[in-house]
Structure formats: structure tokens, C-alpha cells
């Protein structure tokens, strides 16, 4: 879906139409069902995102790597562009603790392509998602919301793929900083270059500061609210940067299941895409005025058409956006 040149209203309508075409089967949850399921567990918080509720806004630049344009004809792979970003904690709790392991950290980016055109990239600090489909997203949240441990155990027994994200998070330390952890967009994307050549990729952002982890004792000592102050302090000393790379796919790699990594994914060849350089905190209002949309891609980038989670996300984000604007 290419929406970079559409107006905000046009973009929203296009996504709602595209979403209903893809997810319009009777058994599939609607975008509102997905947001309601989040609200069911985390409550409704006026004016706030239904997921990744706790976070803060930043600004910076993206400078493409010389090799990037050979992979994709997207404009930001050919010239430096400004970016607006948001770091966040997973889940819909506005007071989620910064110092716990079992939650993802988020990095959402909006690339300003000029002339009113924008494209988005939404990533988390785990290479996999916790459910295969939107219907399972609702079932999982309703099971969590029931507070019934036996039901949750039964869900995991029936869906072993849903244990992968928690296992991954549990085996990695609490990041000491949003600037010190890897982020993945985790879905499979297809790039197209000027010659029409296609490449299957997964995005990964690797922090130039390295992996900064806390021991369990250090995490406890930090308390529940330290990420924003830590970022302010870090930015006072200089930009926070990430290498954006494309993990290279090959024929036969699965593209439909966001709970799956590719074989040997960490050992795969990667291609440099460019440097994300964050230089300042920005007012929340800057990021709250829009929604970072996974499906807001431009010519040269396509999301996976058969990944039901990818296809369902953007319309749910728009429902959350419309509700938080209305409150």
C-alpha cells in the first residue's frame, strides 16, 4: 500500500478500505474489536493510545547508507530526511514500570519525505510477536483479562508459538536505556528498486551505544520511571543513533506468521539501510497528533499481504487514534 502522498484524511480512508478488504471475514475481529480487547485488559485512558500508552516523543534525522537505494526506490533510501520518533513500553498501561523484563520496548519512526509525504516504521525490542492472528490477539487478551491462570495455561498449551516472545524477553536483561537495545519490525517486507528487482527483508535497528542491560538488582534499584530522564541526560551529551539494517530473506522464508523467525536469522547477511540519529526530546503533542502506521509505506516498500497481523494493525491504530483524538 503506498500512501505517502495522500492527505491525512485520504490516508485514513484508504487504510480503512484496504483493511476491510483484507480482514472482512465474518470470524475476524474488526479494528474496534482489537482496540476493545486492549481496553478490556488495560482500561480506557482518555486521550491516550490503547497500546504502547507510556512513551515519549523525539526528533532527529535518517541518513541512508550508500547501498540502500540499490535495494529500494523509497525516497528516504536516496536522501537524508527528518524523522519524528516515539519510544514506548508495550501494553496499554500509562503507568507501566520501565524496570520489568517481560515487556517489549517500542521504537516508532515517521520519515518526512518532503512535500507532505511521510512513511512509517514501527518496531519492538523482540524479533517475534506473541500471536499469529488478530483473532488470537483478542482471545489472548480476553484470557489474560479473565485472570484465570488455568485458562492462560490452556491458551499457551494450545498455542506454543505464543510463548516465544515471552521466552525471548525473559532471556534478555531489562534495557538500561531505550538507546541500548535492538528493535525489529519483525514482519517480512518486500523492497523494490528502480530496476524492478525485489528483495525480501526484515528490518532491524541496532543501537550504536551497544546492548545496555541491567542486572535484576540494578533494574529494581532504578524504579519504575527512568527511561525518559535517562534519554534526556544522554541527549544532552550527543545524539542517540541506530544502524538500520535489512536482514536478507531467501526463497521459501515464511512471511505470514509474525511469531516465527527465519532459519538462522541472527546469522543471516544484512544490508545497511542507514543511520537513525535522534537529537532531541519533543513535546508529546508532536507524536500524539498522528498515529505511526505499520501500513503507511511508500513505493519501493511493501508489507506482507498474507500476514494477518500486519494487515489488521493499521486500521486498529486508526481506531485508537480517532478515539484518543475524540477524548
CB 278 within 8 A of CB 239: yes
71 binds ligand HEM (CB under 6 A): no
Strands (E), the chain: 55-64, 81-89, 105-114, 117-124, 174-175, 183-184, 189-192, 198-207, 213-214, 240-248, 270-282, 301-302
Q: What is the DSSP letter of 79?
A: S
Kindly state the cell numbers that stand for 93. 498501561
User: Could you give the CA distance from residue 187 to residue 257 in angstroms, rounded to a whole number?
Assistant: 8
Q: How far apart are CA 110 and CA 121, in angstroms?
A: 7
Q: Is 297 in the site for ligand HEM (CB under 6 A)?
A: no
Q: Which of residues 33-62 bind ligand HEM (CB under 6 A)?
A: 34-35, 38, 49-52, 55
By CB under 6 A, is residue 122 in contact with ligand HEM? yes
Q: Is 132 in the site for ligand HEM (CB under 6 A)?
A: no
Residue nearest to ligand HEM (CB): 106
Examine the residue annotation and report whether 187 is marked as an active-site residue of this protein: no
Binding residue for ligand HEM, selected from 39, 72, 291, 315, defined by CB under 6 A: 291
Question: In angstroms, rounded to a whole number, what is the distance separating the alpha carbons of residues 234 and 177?
Answer: 9
15 touching ligand HEM, by CB under 6 A: no
Binding marks (x or -) toward ligand HEM, 195..234, rule CB under 6 A?
----------------------------------------
CB of 197 to ligand HEM, least distance (A): 26
| Cα angle, residue 261 at apex, residues 260 and 264 outer, rounded to 5° | 145
Q: Catalytic residue numbers?
A: 52
In the complex, the residues that contact ligand HEM under the rule CB under 6 A are 34-35, 38, 49-52, 55, 86, 88, 106, 108, 122-124, 129, 134, 137, 185-186, 258, 291-292, 309, 312-313, 316-317, 320-321, 324
Amino acid at each position: 500500500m503506498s500512501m505517502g502522498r495522500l492527505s491525512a484524511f485520504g490516508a485514513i480512508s484508504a487504510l480503512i478500505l484496504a483493511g476491510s478488504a483484507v480482514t472482512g471475514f465474518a470470524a475476524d475481529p474488526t479494528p474496534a474489536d482489537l482496540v476493545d480487547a486492549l481496553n478490556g485488559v488495560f482500561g480506557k485512558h482518555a486521550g491516550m493510545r490503547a497500546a504502547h500508552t507510556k512513551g515519549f516523543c523525539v526528533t532527529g534525522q535518517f541518513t541512508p547508507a550508500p547501498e540502500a537505494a540499490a535495494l529500494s526506490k523509497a525516497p528516504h533510501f536516496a536522501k537524508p530526511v527528518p524523522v519524528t520518533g516515539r519510544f514506548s513500553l508495550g501494553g496499554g498501561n500509562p503507568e507501566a514500570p520501565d524496570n520489568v523484563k517481560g515487556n517489549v520496548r517500542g521504537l516508532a519512526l515517521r520519515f518526512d519525505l518532503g512535500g507532505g509525504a511521510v512513511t512509517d516504521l514501527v518496531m519492538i525490542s523482540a524479533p517475534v510477536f506473541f500471536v499469529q492472528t488478530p483473532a488470537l490477539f483478542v482471545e489472548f487478551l480476553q484470557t489474560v483479562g479473565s485472570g484465570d491462570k488455568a485458562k492462560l495455561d490452556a491458551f499457551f498449551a494450545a498455542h506454543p508459538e505464543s510463548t516465544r516472545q515471552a521466552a525471548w524477553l525473559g532471556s534478555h536483561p531489562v534495557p538500561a536505556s531505550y538507546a541500548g537495545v535492538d528493535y525489529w519490525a519483525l514482519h517480512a517486507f518486500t523492497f523494490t528498486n528502480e530496476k524492478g528487482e525485489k528483495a525480501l527483508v526484515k528490518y532491524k535497528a541496532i543501537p550504536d551505544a551497544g546492548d545496555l542491560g541491567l542486572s535484576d538488582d540494578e533494574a529494581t534499584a532504578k524504579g519504575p520511571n527512568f527511561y525518559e530522564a535517562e534519554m534526556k541526560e544522554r541527549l544532552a551529551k550527543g545524539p542517540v543513533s541506530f544502524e538500520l539494517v535489512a536482514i536478507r530473506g531467501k526463497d521459501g522464508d515464511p512471511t505470514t506468521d509474525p511469531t516465527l523467525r527465519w532459519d538462522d536469522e541472527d546469522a543471516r547477511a544484512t544490508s545497511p539501510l542507514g543511520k537513525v540519529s535522534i537529537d532531541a526530546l519533543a513535546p508529546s503533542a508532536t507524536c500524539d497528533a498522528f498515529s505511526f502506521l505499520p501500513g503507511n509505506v511508500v513505493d519501493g516498500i511493501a508489507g506482507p499481504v498474507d500476514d494477518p497481523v500486519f494487515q489488521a494493525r493499521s486500521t486498529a491504530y486508526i481506531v485508537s487514534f480517532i478515539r484518543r483524538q475524540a477524548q
